[in-house]
Structure 1
């Protein structure tokens, strides 16, 4: 992939995802007396919006340093976020079809049952996955830029170590969640319909949970790639920084000669 085309290719995927996230947030905000489970998605949507915006700050050189796997999986994460938001938006429109003046009627509130609750929970988790994954990409990209400097400080290495620990924790959580969501999906597929719920509700939640599994799998691959690239970048930076270093007092840079009582020749100052 040509370096100059990387950022633009990622940025091209971002606006549709941002638009859908904001549209869904607007729809939910219009429901003045929305059930708590639905209203709680506002925070997740706002956090995801910020993560998508921050991804646009990554430069071509930073994307190149992260590698093709991170680039491709980042685009996949945003595409899945778009798909999930569209699915949920369609379901929300059906749930509120009896609403007037931007409010949900009590009839609508009464049918936010088992399948709908599961779909709302799955949507919330997908938004959190997207936010965590994309935020990790931005943080690692910034640290990669710092590693390009000639001198790698201990403070920088400590920051990278902390970020690696965060990414590792997120990866472990994603692996655990994959198992849990697979179990939940199996249970949903044998669950009976509750009062006021339809086969369409069952199909909606099934599709939403399948989307969540895809999002988790994408997140897992992306986080693994981030760790691998970061380990390699740190090793390379430390290798380049391992040359002989002569220190005079507390000074490690500049022109240093210590104490000299003779003449100095053959030195050119540029």
Structure 2
């Protein structure tokens, strides 16, 4: 079992650098005057992931640990991929804007970013979106799983478990669909140009990331199903009196059947 302090340090070890890198990229984007629309959309994506990462830091280590080591490993991988993508994009952005001065884009750089680098920008947006979905799913699942273990099962918690299961299934289906789209794009690229190119590299990275996303969502879904299944059938303990007569039972809210009352044999 992972020590809670070690788990906290491990998560912080990837979250803090990721937040730092994302905020540097966000600052660079905010410094660009009259940025193309695709960069404005990217800023919104960064805000969402920043909020998700901040909420991940607020989870109690014990609640995150309860989800299992596989979830812990996958969430660290998710954050690392997101962090690396932002660092690389920041370097690319500085290269793409080298002809501009005083934070105002030259016509040449605006054309590069607004048109020629659209696929590159869509790629990082896809990674940021999936990162945000995955982290938010981990946070909400950890919170719900903790509620299930530390409070009495209520109808409200049952509904929450069912809703979360539907939500995770939908997120997983979406990841599968995205992966299929990426596969089709890679097939088209291989037909048009068999030589490696930047777009193909980005798509291959996105493909691997989507596979990891499906694995993480599957782990979370398994935990929710485990919690729901454990409460599917109420357990009733029946104890008879010492004379083999009478019935002693704790408070029961479930229907009872199959009992035959009569004289002792």
TM-score by length of 1: 0.81
The aligned residue for residue 225 of structure 2 is: 231
User: Are the aligned partners of 1:44 and 1:124 in contact in 2 as well (CA < 8 Å)?
Assistant: yes
Higher relative contact order (CA 8 A, sep 6+): 1
How far apart, CA to CA, are the structure 2 residues paired with 1:117 and 1:150?
Answer: 49
The aligned residue for residue 220 of structure 1 is: 214
The aligned residue for residue 211 of structure 1 is: 205
Query: Shift in Å at residue 191 of structure 1?
Result: 5.0
The aligned runs of 1:183-198 (5 Å cut-off) are 183-188=184-189
Query: Shift in Å at residue 66 of structure 1?
Result: 0.3
The aligned residue for residue 62 of structure 2 is: 61
The aligned residue for residue 40 of structure 2 is: 39
Deviations 1:22-74 (A, max 9, x none): 11111111111111112210100000000111111122211221001110000
Query: Shift in Å at residue 113 of structure 1?
Result: 6.4
Hey, which bits of structure 1, 4+ residues long, moved more than 4 A? 189-192
Query: Shift in Å at residue 207 of structure 1?
Result: 3.2
How far apart, CA to CA, are the structure 1 residues paired with 2:189 and 2:19?
Answer: 30
Query: Shift in Å at residue 227 of structure 1?
Result: 0.5
The aligned residue for residue 89 of structure 2 is: 88
Deviations 1:110-149 (A, max 9, x none): 2236651111111111110000010000000000111113
How far apart, CA to CA, are the structure 2 residues paired with 1:20 and 1:191?
Answer: 35
Query: Shift in Å at residue 6 of structure 1?
Result: 1.9
The aligned residue for residue 159 of structure 1 is: 160
User: Are the aligned partners of 1:21 and 1:49 in contact in 2 as well (CA < 8 Å)?
Assistant: yes
In the alignment, structure 1 residue 13 sits paired with structure 2 residue 18? no
How far apart, CA to CA, are the structure 2 residues paired with 1:207 and 1:19?
Answer: 25
Change (3 A) 1:89 1:187: farther
Instruction: Report the aligned-residue RMSD.
Output: 2.3
Deviations 1:208-249 (A, max 9, x none): 32222222111110000001011112333556x63455269x
> Which segments of 5 or more consecutive residues in structure 1 lack a partner in the other structure?
193-198, 249-270
Change (3 A) 1:115 1:11: same
Query: Shift in Å at residue 179 of structure 1?
Result: 1.0
Change (3 A) 1:186 1:95: farther
The aligned residue for residue 175 of structure 2 is: 174
User: Are the aligned partners of 2:99 and 2:109 in contact in 1 as well (CA < 8 Å)?
Assistant: yes
